[in-house]
Amino acid sequence: MSSPPAPEGLTSQDFPVHWPVLTRWADNDMFGHLNNAVYYQLFDTAINGWIAANVPDLDPVAMPELGVVAESGCRFLGELGFPDRLAVGLAVTRLGRSSVTYRLAVFRAPSAGDTAAPLAALGHWVHVYVDRSTRRPVPIPEGIRALLATAQV
């Protein structure tokens, strides 16, 4: 099944970061397609994997700040399922003092020569950085802020 055009005409090219992900047999539901809850796991994996891979010496278990999810959502545009090879597109749409808003997408990983993949899902995610002990908002750590700025649209 092909995906309809995404809202606002978005394609994979509208996302500065493409995080590759593989589907697993267990990701499918009884109807043979990716279970809706899996999309949120893919978003979480892409955001945190991208940050961990690109911020040197980041230790999310020991750092004094935590990025907690304050809001998330997903609009489903097409079917995906095992054994599809996917990518999660990531763009920063708002970079505040203590929060960041992401626009996210899931699409089939482009093959050689593909210029733009249609989106199968379009999501949003808000992380608010808080103090590990008090759970009060704190500024986004500088190393993470610098990386987030590279994906800002």
27 domain residue, yes or no:
yes
Task: State pLDDT tens for residues 8-20.
Answer: 789 899 999 999 9
Question: What pLDDT sits at residue 1?
Answer: 46
Does residue 71 surpass a pLDDT of 80?
yes
C-beta separation of 82 from 25 below 8 A: yes
43 domain residue, yes or no:
yes
Quote the CA–CA distance of 104 and 90 in Å, as a whole number. Answer: 5
Does residue 137 surpass a pLDDT of 70?
yes
Question: What pLDDT sits at residue 110?
Answer: 78
Using only the alpha carbons of the chain, give its radius of gyration: 16
Residue 44: closest CA among 120, 107, 102: 102
- 50-68 core/surface letters (b: 16 or more CB in 10 A; e: else): bbeeebeebeeeebebebe
114 domain residue, yes or no:
yes
Task: State pLDDT tens for residues 86-114.
Answer: 999 999 999 999 999 999 999 998 776 67
Task: State pLDDT tens for residues 13-65.
Answer: 999 999 999 999 999 999 999 999 999 999 999 999 999 999 988 898 899 99
Task: Assign residue 133 the CATH number of its domain.
Answer: 3.10.129.10
Q: What is the overall mean pLDDT for the chain?
A: 92
% of the chain residues with pLDDT over 70? 95
Task: State pLDDT tens for residues 108-136.
Answer: 987 766 778 889 999 999 999 999 999 99
1 domain residue, yes or no:
no
As for how many domains the chain has, the answer is 1
Domain span holding position 51:
12-150
Question: What pLDDT sits at residue 5?
Answer: 54
Q: What DSSP letter does each residue of 67-80 carry, written as one string?
A: EEEEEEEEEE-S--
% of the chain residues with pLDDT over 90? 83
